[in-house]
Amino acid sequence: MATIEALVAKNIRLFRQRAGLSQQKLAERTGISLSYINLLENSETDIGVSTLKKVAEGLGIPPGALLTEDGFNPLAPPQDARSGLQYARIILQASLDMLGEPKAARVRKTTGKAKKKKSRS
């Protein structure tokens, strides 16, 4: 498995090229310098959460898409219901991980249910 930095670098380049953007155009869209975009794509620097969000917005994709290992293209509609659910789960999990949500909050947010404690009478 590649490091998270290498994965994000690969995905930035992949989604930028799919969108038909040059590094310069992405830099203009995000307000990030061209040299920093180049460093990110070559995995020569770490990326912070706020920068990850800016890059994703510049590419028109959800931030979690930059964290997927299979190069899943969020711009293309899922081919079937299972793919759609799998994609939603990946994006939800990546977003929650980025926000640092505690595990209990994940259960409530994803299922709409929280475990109730039984009261002792």
pLDDT at 30: 96
Number of domain units in the chain: 1
pLDDT at 116: 52
Per the document, the length of the chain is 121
Q: Is the pTM of this model over 0.95?
A: no
Residue 116 included in any domain? no
Residue 68 included in any domain? yes
Residue 106: domain span:
4-111
pLDDT at 92: 75
How many C-beta atoms surround the C-beta of residue 108 within 10 A?
Answer: 13
Q: What is the dihedral of CA 113, 61, 52, 17, to 10 degrees?
A: 150
Task: Please report, for the domain that includes residue 21, its CATH number.
Answer: 1.10.260.40
Residue 85 included in any domain? yes
| SS3 letters across 47-111 | CCHHHHHHHHHHHCCCHHHHHCCCCCCCCCCCCCHHHHHHHHHHHHHHHHHHHCCCHHHHHHHHH
Q: What does each of the 121 residues of the chain score in pLDDT, given as a tens digit?
A: 468 889 999 999 999 998 899 999 999 999 999 999 999 999 999 999 999 999 999 998 888 889 887 655 555 555 555 566 776 777 777 777 767 655 545 445 555 555 555 556 5
pLDDT at 72: 58
